[in-house]
Structure formats: structure tokens, C-alpha cells
């Protein structure tokens, strides 16, 4: 397989649309998806109201902030952000080791 | 939902340790699974059983692109014998997974992006009940437009499959100054080539057994290629820490790249954790076609410039790969396609662009050859075209441009160690050609069409073709590639014993045999036991990229060496010997052939155990111009194909395939020959038969009735010449063996077909239609000039007009 | 799923009368594929593999009556001389395992235009014997097969046998598949020479909704032979006539595009097969006179 690393970082953003915002809930989610798509790193749907950004640490963190702002601008009530370092199995059989630089 | 009343008693699941017939490296030690596989006694993962076990089944989308408005599970849930019906709402952790990028739903929620995408799961007492339950689930789909090719996906205004667009990766390589070089080119040839979607068609379909541990964790026994990358993704999607998701390799019935991505792993674990019962999932053949990734279809445009004397001056290439609906390992495949796009030749100037795009076709990913198969068909077709235009012998042209030690690839990377491209071609040229054609034979089995009685010699024309190819061994582009081995030397009642424990997947290639050979050679101990591969030991990386003997064989070697060092220190201490002069032979420590001490005595009741990580040299990512030392090392092979074509019917019999391959060092010569013959057969299949036919996102031939694999009457004898030119950086000097034969076979076969028919044959597999000059299938849509993939090259017509 | 396994033809017919919905199975080489793919789930399966009457064949004044349960392997081994065209077709069916189980009765029951057993039956104008508790009727095979996977079998009937004339001259069967063994026909062609009647009989397989007879091409060649007195002299037919025969056979084909091949290729290949088959059969006839 990979000639390529697994993405270093992922940020999953879960949107709770506000029923009181100007835009209807579905439009709020769509606005977030659009912003995610334009934010730079790879963006994929990760659930009915979720988007996952994946890639290098800096670009994902920057993008997560921009997408969060877009969500708030669209009227979303809550944005849950879960940033996860892609954990890799341990080299010696113990769980949860991080891939170090060689 | 009823729960299991009884706790199942796992009698035995998965494989036990394997012991071996004697023999060290360089010997054709017999594989332990050979006889059991032939006699039907081998336990494949699909054969596992446990008391109280349930059967899992997967509901899949019939549509390649659709919105899901609603799902009605009530009838399935009410069926007697059904224990669980699960959807995306039941995914405990992250709802998307992926080896490199998490983009693929464990179970779809509101949208499906390819035909066969998993939508819901059922666990039932009986597999038939599970099947009936799937049939009773009502899904309300709204069918959407289909993006049916990579060109379409990259065109302006195409529907986007994912928020960040359809372009998955563009690899751009700029080498030398192609524009300046164009002026020096006296002869230019251009060509467009295409390769269809090949399937790995492993004979053992996806299968595994998930066993809940009663404490919230799960053990999964599964046929896979890389236990730890499965474990990583399982942990994320199950929302569990790694140590609660343990994997053990069970009998694998072939892999070829198709088992790198998850298939039933998360599904079986979800069902097992939910029902608190062991759950087994086994795909049938049709489901298997939908259940794993395939080889990327690829469209290639090439332009080669050369001097009149046949020296390559520049190469321009534009490659467009169809990645299907999800990323899988596409981003790595496309980089391989780009890096090896010029072939094993000295090319001073190159402009290479490779694109991979999301479409609504089946997801594509790893398959034997991994991007290098596609481009080898492109550049070797070009080399033949160039030879023809120059009036040169095609072998002569290849020899003139053959890469050698010190040649720089278009990435700027310098080839270290032997690059025996010319030697391989010379070897082939020296081999005598088989007699023919037909030779007045009346045996139908030796004629095109075989037993179907289509010719008694009429229309049969002989053709001969050559090809040479190469690819990287091991993971590239800066990936931290390592393998772990734990080796233990102890004394038993029967004398010294070596136990080897790794997580490396034996997928049929013969790795466990080689591990035992290495341990036996390094430690001079007859009795070696290879423990089942599992996640209790560190990662070995994938059984792919022709890397496992190199990486895990290397790890076993290092671990043995570490044990030997410790042992010799003890011997030196206790017996006053110089540790430098010591060696291990037949269960004893010797010094210059003089017996020093028996292992039994020196070890006593204290076994020595070492766990070691083996890394290959560091590699680096490609920069914006595609420059960088991205690869560890390379493997080379060449093929000569001799074919008889019935030029009236377009039917083919391959008379002989001859090959020369550099393997560095043949640790097990018989296994090496097996790999070469197998890869050659798979290459023949790609050249002539094997294609998943997809129209508007739908698979038309998901069965072995219509996805045709070569039979024994299609596969000729293989004449093999094995070179052993040591790779200085590798354990024992070995090179990867598995992939190269699969790379150089297809273009050699097609070259022979061209030789016999005089036709261009720009597309593989070559169908009878093409061999007799009848349009192959319905007309294909022309790509739009200017759309991505064609930007750098422009349309051929445009360039011709310039 | 109910599974019926009658030990005799009589009981099989009674079972079919009582369970008209029952799907007969003999070798299972078609039916089991359908079931495994989940394309059909018969409520009742009627296993005919234990019915001794169906596994017999016999000579009947110039004809051979072959029970519907006689396997391809037995046709190859036992009927190569009496029914050479059918034996040749049988050799092209599947793998040894399939030929050990599969039957011409199954080919008839499935009525697929790609069934290898059908063109020889069509060419020799075989009759299909259909039995029920009410009696037996014989139907010409070309009337029995009514369309792709459709036939004239009534719900209470079983295919008990087929009956065709013993060969009186050379016969051929040729089939194009993209693989050299174990392949479903892309197209095929069966041919029989009947010197005593001055007849050439031919049939195209897998290039139309049913196997297709080629009367115009047959009459053309018969004319060539009559005109040249070739049946008597055993002289050569000549390339022009062979080619013309191929073209006229092509003209009768009505193929479609599918995963196995394009219509255009099928038409092309049928012409080649027809020309070659006639050439081979005629060569054999000529050698027979030496």
C-alpha cells in the first residue's frame, strides 16, 4: 500500500443547526460543507451533520477554525470539534504508540 | 432483541503454530500449506466456526449514486432468528474510515456513491435467514446522476462526490528542460493507451469471525494483508482503544492488494459487540466483486522524442486514473504511476502529470504492480512504436536507452546498485524461440480457441513481443516503513527451538517458510516454529509492495543476530572464547569448526528473546516538481511473449511466456518461481481477459462466468531465467519478487499480438473485436481538451497541428 | 424449500402433477448458479437425478432417443459415432466437472440461446419428448424453444428425452469464446451433412433470441453440390461457395451487444465459423470416399 502517510491529523466538526437562524437547518449544514470543501485539506462527509478534515497538522487546524466560523456565520447553534491525531498501533505490540520520525 | 443465553466456548479459532521441513536460505524448502491446500484440508478464514456463532450479512446499494431518504428495518427486525439489524447510527466511533484519508462510510447515511456500498447489517442464526432479512429491508432511494469516468469527474461543472471536489491527487513531475529538448528530437511518436479495471480475483472471498471478549472488547480472526492498519481503523470506528481490538490472521486465500482496505472487519465487530455473540461474515463471489477495491483503470497520453539513432530525448505523459467513489490508496497509486511513467530508461527530460479522480465507479486501490502496471503498458507500447518509426529492432532500442546503476529517474533519484535492464533483455534474446506456428498440429488444445474447435490452423499467425518493466520495493514518499519481529530461542525436550513471531500476513506468497529458513540459517537450529500472526507483536506493515521478505525477513534476521550476539557474549564469558570467531551450527556453538558448547547446555532454562524493528533507508516526499528520493530500491523484470492469433476470429493462444528477472537473492528458489509464474499468469489475464466491465457506474460481470480468468489451457509454460545480483542495501541482497512479473507480462503479450495482427491495439484487455478490427464495445466519450489531465499535453490533434 | 426426489419416472410425473410449481433439477449446473446468485428461490425442487429412465438412451430405427438425464460426458463417450455433432458440442461445455453433471435435458429446460447442446439438435431437427401423467407428446425442438429462456413446457410436464436421427454424414460444431476452455459461447455454429438426402443442415447458436436455422444458406450450398454433382464426385466445393455460405449464414444471425461480445463481432465470427465448419465437414466427406 502506502507510498503515502496516513493523514497526520483529522478534525471532525459536528453541526447542530439552529431552528431560529435566518437559513433553514439544511442550508446551514450545506454552508458548512461548502466552507469545508474550500478550506484546503481533504474534506469528507462524516455523518448526517458532520464533516471531517484530514491532512497535515497546520492546515487541518487552520481549516477547522475557518469552517467553525462559517458554521457560526450560517447560524449554527453548536459546532462540536473533535481533533484527533491519527493513532497508530505500537511498534512493539503495545497499543497507542505514535509514529515517530525515523 | 434476544440475547445469547449461553456463553460460547471457543474450541479453537484460527491457525496454530507452523513447523517446517528442514532447510536454510537458498533451498527450496517445501511450503507447509501446499499439501493441505491441494487436499482441501487447509483452514481458510471462511471455514472458521464457533458454537453459538451468528452469521452477518451486508445490505448494499443497488445504485451507483443515490440519496437515501429513509430506511425501514421493521420487517427484518421482526424476523425469527434475526439478532441484530444495524445502520450508520450504530457505528460506535467514527462513521468514516480509510487507510490514508477517512472518507468512506462504514455504513451509508444519506448518500451512496457506488453500486454495492454497504447500507445496513444483519446478524442471524443462519446465513439464509440473514439473506432473507436483508431482502426485507426497505430503502427509499432517489437515484442521482452518475459520474462515470475520471475525465467526466474532472470536467468543469461535474457533480462533486465529496466536499473538497473530485480531484483526489495530481502528481506533477518536471525533469530537465523538455521544451528545449523538443528541438533536439528528430523523431516523435505519440500514443493514447487505456487499461481496463482488473480484479484481484483472489479465490478465498472476504471473511472473518469476530468474537466479543465479554468486557467490551473484541477479537477478530480475519484474512487480511496488514493486521495493524486494520486495527488502527477498527479502533477509530469502534471507538475503542487499540488493546480492546485484537486481530489474528486466519487462512488467507490470496490477496494481491485487494485485502488492504477494510471490507467486513468493522461490520463483523459491530455485530459481535452488539449481540455479544461471535459473528462470522463470509462474502460470496458476487459480493466479493463489490467488497474490495480493484486496479485503477487508466487513460494515458504519451509523447516520446528521440534522436534518429534512437536515443530518448524527452517524454511527455499525461495519466488519468479512475479512483472510484473513495480514496483507498489512490493517492499512492497515482504517485507510482507518475514516478515510473518513463520506464526503466534514461530519460533526460520529462513532463509528467498524473491525476486520480473520484467517480461513481467501484473504488480502486492496491493491486499487484500498484500503478506501475498501467504505465508499463503505456511506455512499452511507445518504445515499440518508436522502434518501428526508426526502423530499429525493438530490443536494440531498449538496450540503447536501458537504465543502469547511477541513472537518474525523472524524480532526480539516482539508481543505487544493479539495474540490470540490458542484461534481462539480453537473456531473453538468447533464449531459443518455441517451434511454430501450429506445426500441423491437430490437437485443438494447442490452437487459438482451444477445445471449442474454431480453427484447424486456418488464419493462425505467430507473433513475438518484448517488454521490460520495474517498480519500487517497499513503501515510498517518506512513509515510515518498518517491520517488527520477535524471536525466541529456547531449549525443549527435543533440543533447541526457535520461535518466530511477527504480524506479517502470509497471503500465499510463502513468507512463513522464508521466516523459518532465515531463523534456521541464522541460528543453526533445526527446529523452528512460526507463531500465528497477530497484533500482540508490533506491526510488520503490509504484505504488499513486494516488501515482506525484505522487511519482515530482514526483521527476523536482525532479531536472530541480536540473539546470537547475546549468546556469544555468554559463551565468550563462560568459555573464554573470542566472540568474533564464534558461529552456530547444528545446535552447537563452534569456533572455526571446533565444537565449543551445545546450545542446550549454554541456554539451560533461560531462553533468549529479542524483539527488533527493521527499517529500510529513509525515503522523502516529492516536492512541487515531483523531485525527491522517494523510493527505497527497485525491482526489474522482462518478458517475451510468443502468441498464435487466429487473425480472422481474434482468438489467441499464448504459446510461451519467457521471463528474466533479477531477484537479488532467491531465498527459496521454488517460491520465487511460483511468484514469477503467478504474476505472469495474472499479467496474461490482464492482457487478454480480465476486466470488470462498468457502464454508468454499474458492474456488468460480477461473476466468474463473465469475469474470465485464464485456465490451464490459456496459460502456457513459463521459461524463467533468474538473476541474483545483490542489492547492496537489502537483507541477503534480496529484491522484491511478487510484482515485477505482473508489470512486464501484459505489454509483452500485447506487443506479440500487434506483431501478429499489425493492429495498434491501444487498449487492454485486448478483446477479439480489437484483434479483427471491429469497434470494441459502444463508443467511449471523448475527453474534453483543456480539462484536467490533458492540460499539459493538449489534445493529440492540437499537438499534431503545431 | 421442499425437496422431492422420486425414484422413477412415473413417480416423478406424479410429483410434477401434484406440484406444478416444482422446479426440476438434474445436474444442477444452471439451477444452482441461479440459486447461489439469489436470482431465484424455488419453493419446491424436483430432483430427477435418481430417475433411471431419464439416464438411458436407445436406438430407434435410424434415430437415437436420449433420456433427458444423460450427461454430456456420456454423450461424448457413448454417442460420438451416432451423434457426432452433439458429441462435439458436448466437449465444449464447461469443465470436466460440469460435463459429468450437466445434461442436454437441462440445456433444453433452460432454453438459453447460448446452450451448446441446442444447435446440433436444431440442425438435425430433433424432437423433444414431453411427458406428464396424461401422456407423452413430441415437439420439434425449434417449436419447443419459444424465446430466450422460454419454452413450450407445460407446468405438469417434464422433459423426458429428445430424439434425433443418427448421423449419415460428417457433422461439426464450433464455438467462439474469449477463453480457450470453460467459456459460455459468444456465438456458435452446428452443421450436419446428410449425403443420402443431399441435405446440408445448419444452425447458429448464441447470436439471436433462440438458436437460428439458416435455410437460405443451406439451400444455396445444396444447389452448389447438386449442380456440380459433388455428392457423387466428392469434388471440392470451392472457396467462393464456402465464402458465400458464410455470408448467407451471417445474414441470418440476429445478435445483440452484451458483456461477452458485440453484435458486430458475433456476425463476423459466425461467418467465419460457418465457412470453416462447412469446409471441415466437406473435407471429411471427401476423405470418406477414398
Is the pLDDT score of B112 beyond 50?
yes
Is the pLDDT score of B779 beyond 50?
no
Q: What pLDDT is recorded for position B168?
A: 96
For B347, what's the count of Cα atoms within 13 Å in the CB-facing half-sphere? 31
The cell numbers describing B56, all together, are 452477518
Q: What pLDDT is recorded for position C39?
A: 83
Q: Domains in chain A and their CATH numbers?
A: 9-85 (3.30.70.930)
Lowest mean pLDDT among A51-60, B182-191, B674-683: A51-60
pLDDT digits (tens, 9 = 90+) for B408-439: 999 999 999 999 999 999 999 999 999 876 55
DSSP letter at B284 equals -
| CA torsion, ordered B234, B237, B240, B241, to nearest 10 deg | 60
Residues C94 and C116 in one domain: yes
Place of cell 489451457: B713
**Contact (Cβ atoms closer than 8 angstroms) between residue B353 and residue B789:** yes
Place of cell 474534453: B784
**How far apart, in whole angstroms, are the C-alpha atoms of residue C73 and residue C81?**
14
Is the pLDDT score of A95 beyond 70?
no
Instruction: Determine the residue among B127, B134, B445, B449 to mutate to test chain C binding: the one whose Cβ has the most chain C Cβ atoms within 10 Å.
Output: B449
Residue in A closest to B482 by C-alpha: A91
Å between C225 CA and nearest CA of chain B: 23
Query: What average pLDDT does this structure show over C123-132?
Result: 98
Domain end point (choices C107, C133, C165): C165
**Contact (Cβ atoms closer than 8 angstroms) between residue A56 and residue A33:** no
**Cβ <8 Å between B630 and A12:** no
Residues C160 and C231 in one domain: no
Q: How confident is the model at residue B480 (pLDDT cuts 50, 70, 90)?
A: confident
**Contact (Cβ atoms closer than 8 angstroms) between residue B653 and residue B768:** no
Place of cell 462470522: B280
Residues C130 and C196 in one domain: no
Count CB atoms within 10 A of the CB of residue B93. Answer: 16
**How far apart, in whole angstroms, are the C-alpha atoms of residue B682 and residue B203?**
13
Range of the domain at C96: 2-165
Residues C134 and C267 in one domain: no
**Cβ <8 Å between A86 and B329:** no
Query: Which residues on B lie below 8 Å from C92 (Cβ)?
Result: 451-453
Q: Provide, rounded to the nearest whole percent, the portion of chain B with pLDDT above 70.
A: 94
Query: What average pLDDT does this structure show over C177-182?
Result: 94
Domain end point (choices C120, C136, C165): C165
Query: Which residues on B lie below 8 Å from C176 (Cβ)?
Result: 449, 452, 454, 649, 651, 768
- Using CB atoms, which chains have 3+ pairs under 8 A with A? B
Query: Could you give phi then psi for residue C211, rounded to 5 degrees?
Result: -55, 150
**How far apart, in whole angstroms, are the C-alpha atoms of residue C62 and residue C280?**
24
Domain end point (choices C134, C165, C196): C165
Q: What pLDDT is recorded for position B427?
A: 97
B99–A contact, CB cutoff 8 A: yes
The cell numbers describing B587, all together, are 545446535
> Across the interface, which of C88, C173, C268 has its CB nearest the CB of B774?
C268
Is the pLDDT score of B712 beyond 60?
yes
Lowest mean pLDDT among B12-26, B140-154, B497-511, B751-765: B12-26
Instruction: Determine the residue among B163, B479, B543 to mutate to test chain A binding: the one whose Cβ has the most chain A Cβ atoms within 10 Å.
Output: B163
Q: What pLDDT is recorded for position C53?
A: 97
**Cβ <8 Å between B542 and A99:** no
Regarding the domain delimited by B171-198+294-475+623-772, which CATH topology (the fold level of the hierarchy) does it fall under? Aldehyde Oxidoreductase; domain 4 (3.30.365)
> Across the interface, which of A34, A41, A91 has its CB nearest the CB of B539?
A91
> Across the interface, which of A12, A54, A92 has its CB nearest the CB of B538?
A92
Q: Which residues lie across from B424 on neighbouring strands?
A: none
**Contact (Cβ atoms closer than 8 angstroms) between residue B367 and residue B258:** yes
Residues C161 and C251 in one domain: no
**Contact (Cβ atoms closer than 8 angstroms) between residue B357 and residue B166:** yes
The cell numbers describing C45, all together, are 425442487
Lowest mean pLDDT among B446-450, C153-157, C248-252: B446-450
Q: How many residues does chain A have?
A: 102
C-alpha to C-alpha distances, B577 to B564, B567, B571, B574, B606, nearest whole angstrom: 14, 12, 7, 8, 21
Q: What pLDDT is recorded for position A6?
A: 66
Residues C89 and C159 in one domain: yes
Chain C contacts to B (CB-CB under 8 A): 33, 36-38, 88, 91-92, 172-184, 186, 257, 259-262, 264-265, 268-269, 272-273, 276, 280
**How far apart, in whole angstroms, are the C-alpha atoms of residue B342 and residue B415?**
14
**Cβ <8 Å between C175 and B452:** yes
> Across the interface, which of C174, C264, C268 has its CB nearest the CB of B452?
C174
Q: What pLDDT is recorded for position B441?
A: 63
- Using CB atoms, which chains have 3+ pairs under 8 A with B? A, C
Query: Which residues on A lie below 8 Å from B100 (Cβ)?
Result: 2, 4-7
Query: What average pLDDT does this structure show over B295-322?
Result: 98
Residues C91 and C24 in one domain: yes
Query: What average pLDDT does this structure show over B593-622?
Result: 94
Q: What pLDDT is recorded for position A93?
A: 36
* CATH code, domain carrying C186: 3.30.390.50
Kindly give, in sequence order, each residue whose CB lies less than 8 Å from that of residue C105, ignoring residues fewer than 6 positions away: C26, C54, C67, C68, C69, C70, C159, C161, C162
pLDDT digits (tens, 9 = 90+) for B529-587: 999 999 999 999 999 999 999 999 999 999 999 999 999 999 999 999 999 999 999 99
Residues C151 and C226 in one domain: no
Place of cell 458554521: A71
Query: What average pLDDT does this structure show over B719-730?
Result: 95
pLDDT digits (tens, 9 = 90+) for B619-660: 999 999 999 999 999 999 999 999 999 999 999 999 999 999
CB pairs under 8 A between B and C: 101
pLDDT digits (tens, 9 = 90+) for B658-673: 999 999 999 999 999 9
Query: Which residues on C lie below 8 Å from B712 (Cβ)?
Result: 181
C-alpha to C-alpha distances, A55 to A71, B359, B704, nearest whole angstrom: 21, 21, 39
Residues C94 and C133 in one domain: yes
Å between B411 CA and nearest CA of chain A: 14
Is the pLDDT score of B784 beyond 70?
no
Q: What pLDDT is recorded for position A88?
A: 57
Q: How confident is the model at residue B19 (pLDDT cuts 50, 70, 90)?
A: confident
Å between A25 CA and nearest CA of chain B: 16
Q: What pLDDT is recorded for position B790?
A: 35
Query: Which residues on A lie below 8 Å from B479 (Cβ)?
Result: 2-5
Q: What pLDDT is recorded for position A98?
A: 32
Chain A contacts to B (CB-CB under 8 A): 1-7, 10, 12, 33-34, 36-37, 41-48, 50-52, 54, 84, 86-96, 99-102
Average pLDDT score, chain B: 93
**Contact (Cβ atoms closer than 8 angstroms) between residue B257 and residue B365:** yes
Where in chain B are the domains? 44-144+205-252+259-291, 171-198+294-475+623-772, 482-615
**Cβ <8 Å between B778 and C257:** yes
**How far apart, in whole angstroms, are the C-alpha atoms of residue C261 and residue B792?**
36
pLDDT digits (tens, 9 = 90+) for B205-217: 999 999 999 999 9
Buried/exposed code over B222-261 (b: 16+ C-beta within 10 A; e: otherwise): bbbbbbbbbbbbbbbbbebebbbbbbbbbbbbbbbbbbbb
Give the dihedral sign, CA B16/B22/B28/B34: negative
Query: What average pLDDT does this structure show over B460-469?
Result: 97
Is the pLDDT score of A3 beyond 70?
no
pLDDT digits (tens, 9 = 90+) for B243-260: 999 999 999 999 999 999
Is the pLDDT score of B336 beyond 80?
yes
Q: What pLDDT is recorded for position B801?
A: 39
**Cβ <8 Å between B101 and A36:** no
**How far apart, in whole angstroms, are the C-alpha atoms of residue B530 and residue B537?**
13
Q: How confident is the model at residue B780 (pLDDT cuts 50, 70, 90)?
A: very low
CATH architecture, domain B44-144+205-252+259-291 = Alpha-Beta Complex (3.90)
Is the pLDDT score of B795 beyond 70?
no
> Across the interface, which of A1, A43, A86 has its CB nearest the CB of B163?
A43
Residues C11 and C43 in one domain: yes
The CATH number given to B482-615 is 3.30.365.10
Residue in A closest to B631 by C-alpha: A3
Residues C87 and C227 in one domain: no
Q: How confident is the model at residue A1 (pLDDT cuts 50, 70, 90)?
A: very low
Residues C143 and C182 in one domain: no
**Cβ <8 Å between B336 and A3:** yes
Average pLDDT score, chain A: 81
Domains B44-144+205-252+259-291 and B482-615 share a fold: no
* CATH code, domain carrying C45: 3.30.465.10
Closest CA to C144 of C116, C173, C108: C108
The cell numbers describing B588, all together, are 552447537
Collapsed DSSP state (helix, strand, coil) of residue B733: helix
Amino acid at each position: 500500500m502506502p507510498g503515502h502517510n496516513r493523514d497526520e491529523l483529522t478534525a471532525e466538526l459536528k453541526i447542530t443547526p439552529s431552528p431560529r437562524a435566518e437559513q433553514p437547518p439544511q442550508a446551514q449544514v450545506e454552508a458548512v460543507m461548502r466552507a469545508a470543501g474550500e478550506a484546503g485539506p481533504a474534506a469528507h462527509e462524516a455523518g448526517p451533520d458532520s464533516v471531517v478534515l484530514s491532512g497535515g497538522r497546520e492546515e487541518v487546524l487552520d481549516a477547522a477554525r475557518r469552517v467553525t466560523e462559517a458554521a457560526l456565520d450560517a447560524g449554527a447553534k453548536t459546532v462540536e470539534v473533535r481533533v484527533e491525531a491519527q493513532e497508530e498501533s505500537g511498534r512493539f505490540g503495545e497499543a497507542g504508540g505514535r509514529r515517530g520520525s525515523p | 432483541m434476544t440475547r445469547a443465553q449461553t456463553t460460547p466456548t471457543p474450541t479453537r479459532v484460527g491457525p496454530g503454530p507452523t513447523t517446517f521441513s528442514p532447510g536454510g536460505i537458498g533451498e527450496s524448502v517445501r511450503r507447509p500449506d501446499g499439501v493441505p491446500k491441494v487436499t482441501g484440508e487447509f483452514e481458510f478464514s471462511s471455514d472458521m466456526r464457533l458454537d453459538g456463532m451468528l452469521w452477518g450479512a451486508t445490505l448494499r446499494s443497488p445504485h451507483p449514486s443515490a440519496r437515501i431518504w429513509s430506511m425501514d428495518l421493521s420487517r427484518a427486525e421482526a424476523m425469527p432468528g434475526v439478532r441484530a439489524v444495524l445502520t450508520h447510527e450504530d457505528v460506535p466511533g467514527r462513521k468514516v474510515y480509510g487507510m490514508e484519508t477517512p472518507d468512506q462510510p462504514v455504513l451509508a447515511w444519506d448518500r451512496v456513491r457506488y453500486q454495492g456500498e454497504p447500507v445496513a447489517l444483519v446478524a442471524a442464526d443462519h446465513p439464509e435467514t440473514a439473506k432473507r432479512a436483508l431482502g426485507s429491508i426497505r430503502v427509499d432511494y432517489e437515484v442521482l446522476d452518475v459520474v462515470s469516468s475520471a475525465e467526466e469527474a474532472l470536467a468543469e461543472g461535474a457533480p462533486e462526490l465529496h466536499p473538497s471536489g473530485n480531484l483526489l491527487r495530481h502528481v506533477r513531475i518536471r525533469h530537465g528542460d523538455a521544451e528545449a529538448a523538443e528541438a533536439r528530437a528528430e523523431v516523435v511518436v505519440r500514443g493514447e493507451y487505456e487499461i481496463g479495471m482488473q480484479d484481484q480475483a483472489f479465490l478465498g472471498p472476504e471473511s472473518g469471525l469476530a468474537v466479543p471478549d465479554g468486557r467490551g472488547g473484541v477479537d477478530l480472526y480475519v484474512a487480511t494483508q496488514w493486521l495493524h492498519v486494520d486495527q488502527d481503523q477498527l479502533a477509530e470506528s469502534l471507538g475503542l482503544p487499540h488493546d480492546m481490538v485484537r486481530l489474528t490472521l486466519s487462512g488467507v486465500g490470496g490477496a494481491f492488494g485487494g485485502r488492504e482496505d477494510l471490507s467486513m472487519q468493522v461490520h463483523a465487530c459491530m455485530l459481535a459487540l452488539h449481540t455479544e455473540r461471535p459473528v462470522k461474515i463470509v462474502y460470496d463471489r458476487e459480493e466479493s466483486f463489490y467488497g474490495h477495491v480493484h486496479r485503477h483503470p487508466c487513460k494515458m497520453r504519451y509523447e516520446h522524442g528521440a534522436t534518429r539513432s534512437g536515443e530518448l530525448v524527452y517524454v511527455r505523459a499525461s495519466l488519468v486514473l479512475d479512483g472510484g467513489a473513495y480514496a483507498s490508496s489512490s493517492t499512492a497509486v497515482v504517485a507510482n504511476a507518475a514516478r515510473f511513467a518513463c520506464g526503466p530508461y534514461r530519460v533526460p527530460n520529462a513532463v509528467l502529470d498524473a491525476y486520480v479522480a473520484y467517480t461513481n465507479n467501484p473504488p480502486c486501490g492496491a493491486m499487484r504492480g500498484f500503478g506501475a502496471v498501467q504505465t508499463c503498458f503505456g511506455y512499452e507500447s511507445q518504445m515499440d512504436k518508436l522502434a518501428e518509426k526508426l526502423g530499429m529492432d525493438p530490443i536494440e532500442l531498449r538496450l540503447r536507452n536501458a537504465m543502469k546503476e547511477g541513472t537518474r529517474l525523472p524524480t532526480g533519484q539516482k539508481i543505487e546498485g544493479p539495474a540490470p535492464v540490458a542484461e534481462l533483455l539480453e537473456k531473453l534474446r538468447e533464449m531459443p524461440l518455441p517451434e511454430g506456428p501450429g506445426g500441423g498440429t491437430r490437437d485443438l488444445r494447442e490452437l487459438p480457441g482451444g477445445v471449442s474447435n474454431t480453427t484447424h490452423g486456418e488464419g493462425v499467425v505467430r507473433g513475438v513481443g518484448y517488454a521490460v518493466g520495474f517498480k519500487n520495493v517497499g513503501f515510498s514518499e517518506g512513509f515510515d516503513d518498518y517491520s517488527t519481529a520477535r524471536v525466541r530461542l529456547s531449549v525443549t525436550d527435543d533440543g533447541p527451538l526457535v520461535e518466530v513471531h511477527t504480524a506479517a500476513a502470509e497471503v500465499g506468497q510463502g513468507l512463513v517458510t522464508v521466516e523459518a529458513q532465515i531463523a534456521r540459517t541464522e541460528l543453526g537450529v533445526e527446529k523452528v516454529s512460526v507463531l500465528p500472526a497477530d497484533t500482540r507483536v508490533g506491526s510488520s506493515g503490509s504484505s504488499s509492495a513486494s516488501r515482506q521478505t525484505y522487511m519482515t525477513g530482514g526483521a527476523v534476521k536482525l532479531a536472530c543476530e541480536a540473539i546470537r550476539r547475546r549468546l556469544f557474549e555468554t559463551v565468550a564469558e563462560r568459555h573464554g572464547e573470542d566472540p568474533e570467531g564464534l558461529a552456530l551450527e547444528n545446535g552447537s556453538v563452534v569456533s572455526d569448526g571446533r565444537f565449543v558448547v551445545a546450545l542446550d547446555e549454554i541456554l539451560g532454562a533461560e531462553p533468549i528473546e529479542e524483539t527488533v524493528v527493521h527499517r529500510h533507508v529513509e525515503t522523502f516526499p516529492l516536492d512541487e516538481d515531483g523531485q525527491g528520493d522517494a523510493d527505497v530500491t527497485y525491482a526489474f523484470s522482462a518478458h517475451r511473449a510468443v502468441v498464435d492469433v487466429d487473425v480472422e476470429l481474434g482468438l489467441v493462444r499464448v504459446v510461451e511466456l519467457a521471463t528474466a528477472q533479477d531477484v537479488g537473492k532467491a531465498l527459496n528458489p521454488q517460491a520465487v518461481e511460483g511468484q514469477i509464474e503467478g504474476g505472469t499468469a495474472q499479467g496474461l489475464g490482464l492482457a487478454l481477459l480480465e476486466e470488470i466491465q462498468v457502464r454508468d457506474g454499474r458492474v456488468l460481470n460480477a461473476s466468474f462466468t463473465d469475469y474470465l480468468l485464464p485456465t490451464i489451457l490459456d496459460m502456457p509454460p513459463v521459461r524463467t531465467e533468474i538473476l541474483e545480483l545483490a542489492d547492496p542495501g537489502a537483507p541477503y541482497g534480496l529484491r522484491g519478487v511478487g510484482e515485477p512479473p505482473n508489470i512486464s507480462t501484459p505489454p509483452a503479450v500485447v506487443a506479440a499480438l500487434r506483431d501478429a495482427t499489425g493492429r495498434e491495439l491501444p487498449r487492454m484487455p485486448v478483446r477479439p473485436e480489437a484483434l479483427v478490427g471491429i469497434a470494441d464495445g459502444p463508443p467511449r466519450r471523448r475527453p474534453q481538451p483543456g480539462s484536467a489531465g490533458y492540460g499539459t499535453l493538449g489534445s493529440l490533434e492540437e499537438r499534431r497541428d503545431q | 424449500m421442499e425437496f422431492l426426489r422420486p425414484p422413477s419416472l412415473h413417480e416423478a410425473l406424479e410429483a410434477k402433477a401434484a406440484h406444478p410449481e416444482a422446479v426440476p433439477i438434474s445436474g444442477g449446473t444452471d439451477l444452482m448458479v441461479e440459486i447461489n446468485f439469489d436470482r431465484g428461490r424455488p419453493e419446491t425442487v424436483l430432483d430427477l437425478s435418481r430417475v433411471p429412465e431419464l439416464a438411458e438412451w436407445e436406438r430407434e430405427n435410424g434415430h437415437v432417443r436420449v433420456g433427458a438425464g444423460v450427461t454430456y460426458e456420456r454423450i461424448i463417450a457413448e454417442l460420438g459415432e451416432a451423434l457426432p455433432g452433439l458429441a462435439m458440442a458436448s466437449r465444449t461445455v464447461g469443465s470436466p466437472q460440469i460435463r459429468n453433471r450437466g445434461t442436454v435435458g437441462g440445456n433444453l429446460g433452460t432454453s438459453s440461446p447460448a446452450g451448446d447442446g441446442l444447435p446440433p439438435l436444431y440442425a438435425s431437427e430433433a424432437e423433444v419428448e414431453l411427458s406428464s401423467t396424461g401422456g407423452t407428446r413430441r415437439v420439434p425442438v425449434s417449436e419447443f424453444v419459444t424465446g430466450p429462456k422460454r419454452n413450450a413446457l407445460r407446468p405438469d410436464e417434464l422433459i423426458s428425452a429428445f430424439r434425433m436421427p443418427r448421423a449419415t454424414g460428417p457433422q461439426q460444431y464450433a464455438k467462439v469464446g474469449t477463453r480457450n476452455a470453460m467459456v459460455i459461447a459468444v456465438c456458435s455454429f452446428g452443421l450436419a451433412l446428410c449425403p443420402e438426402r443431399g441435405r446440408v443442415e445448419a444452425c447458429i447458436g448464441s447470436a439471436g433470441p433462440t438458436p437460428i436455422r439458416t435455410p437460405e444458406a443451406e439451400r444455396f450450398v445444396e444447389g452448389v453440390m447438386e449442380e456440380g454433382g459433388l455428392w457423387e464426385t466428392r469434388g471440392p466445393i470451392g472457396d467462393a461457395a464456402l465464402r458465400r455460405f458464410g455470408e448467407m449464414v451471417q445474414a441470418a444471425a440476429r445478435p445483440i451487444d452484451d458483456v461477452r461480445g458485440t453484435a458486430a463481432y458475433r456476425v463476423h465470427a459466425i461467418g467465419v465459423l460457418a465457412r470453416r465448419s462447412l469446409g471441415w465437414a466437406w473435407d471429411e466427406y471427401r476423405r470418406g470416399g477414398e
